[in-house]
Amino acid sequence: MNRRTFESALTEAGVGRILLNESMTRHTTWRIGGPADYFVLPSTVEELSRAVRLAGQFGVPWTVIGRGSNLLVQDGGLRGLVIKLHDQFSEVSVSGSRLTALAGRSIVSLAGLAVRDSLGGLEFATGIPGSVGGAVMMNAGAHGSEISRVLDWADVMDGSGEVRRWMSSDLAFAYRYSRLKDEPGIVVRAQFQLEPADKQDMANQIKAWSRRRAATQPLSLPNCGSVFRNPANAHAAELIEMAGLKGLCCGDAQISDKHANFVVNRGAARASDVLWLIHHAQEVVRERFGLELETEVRIIGETEKGG
């Protein structure tokens, strides 16, 4: 494929802002990741559809990201087209007790809007640093609740740029899982069914959760949130800590000494450093406790050439 030809086709199609060889350190909460060949920021569903269709016509692989949490981009970067759905793709509307938002909307922001309008059911998400689309895809959850409990439907775009509405029951939700983790598709819009609730009660609960996060999580350093899913009847952080790995470093990556299920970037961490810590924690926990730690973080991209 001629790079200039594909770039020209993107420009002519009007798919939003286009960047070349864009460092993914700017687009992940870990501040880690090599360059993306092509990087676009569509602002409408139509622009997104045109970008996906063009990638298919040119045989270019594509990857969609949201706000870059729960994401590790490897040091060699991403080949093909990266489509980012962020603040430019975040329109929201309220109708009675239903909230509808485009996929790039911050789930924290959406939950805040719900509380403002005295609508309950999303307040658990006020500490989840991701997008609406990512939250639906992975069935994000906290404090005993999760997206599947409040999702009404999601509009999902396929590889041909066509959009189909999936009801919540279509998505086969499970713990930190939906069908969209295994089947190609882009959440472009989602609607949530909430319930009237007392605004002050929700605000008090959110403040309590916020204080607890500040006390127990390494919020001052770049991280992706929880790295591992909790095994059945166990907690990943406790297993890692009991294995003596809390505070362990590889390069500038560190298993947090505040919360062992977080890996933090102390300044110049590379994806290879993070991956070493992930694999080492998995090996040690397997040997010590006979349990498998499955990653919650999404790992994408290529290892660095020659590395």
For the chain (length 307 residues), average pLDDT per consecutive 10? 82 94 97 98 96 96 94 97 95 97 97 96 93 95 95 97 96 93 93 97 96 95 95 96 98 98 98 98 98 95 76
Token digits of residue 90 = 């975040």
Dump pLDDT digits (tens) for 163-200.
999 999 999 999 889 999 898 899 999 999 999 999 99
The amino acid sitting at 9 is A
pLDDT of residue 188: 98
**CATH topology classification for 3-87:** 3.30.43
CA 174 to chain centre: 17
Distance CA 106, CA 160 (A): 26
Q: Can you tell me which residue has the tokens 């882009």? A: 186
Its pTM stands at 0.92
Q: Residue ranges of the domains in the chain?
A: 3-87, 90-202, 218-300
Residue 248: phi, psi to the nearest 5?
A: -65, 140
Please check whether residue 125 is in contact with residue 111, taking contact to mean a CB–CB distance below 8 angstroms.
yes
CATH of segment(s) 90-202: 3.30.465.10
pLDDT of residue 71: 95
Q: How many CB atoms lie within 10 A of CB 290?
A: 7
Catalytic hit among 67, 226, 256, 270: 226
Closest CA to 135 of 157, 107, 101: 107
Catalytic hit among 53, 79, 149, 176: 176
Token digits of residue 276 = 């070493």
CATH architecture of 218-300: Alpha-Beta Complex (3.90)
Distance CA 283, CA 92 (A): 44
Please check whether residue 245 is in contact with residue 280, taking contact to mean a CB–CB distance below 8 angstroms.
yes
Residue 67: phi, psi to the nearest 5?
A: -95, 5
| Whole-number CA gyration radius for the chain | 20
Known active-site residue 226: yes
Token digits of residue 231 = 């095994």
Please check whether residue 284 is in contact with residue 16, taking contact to mean a CB–CB distance below 8 angstroms.
no
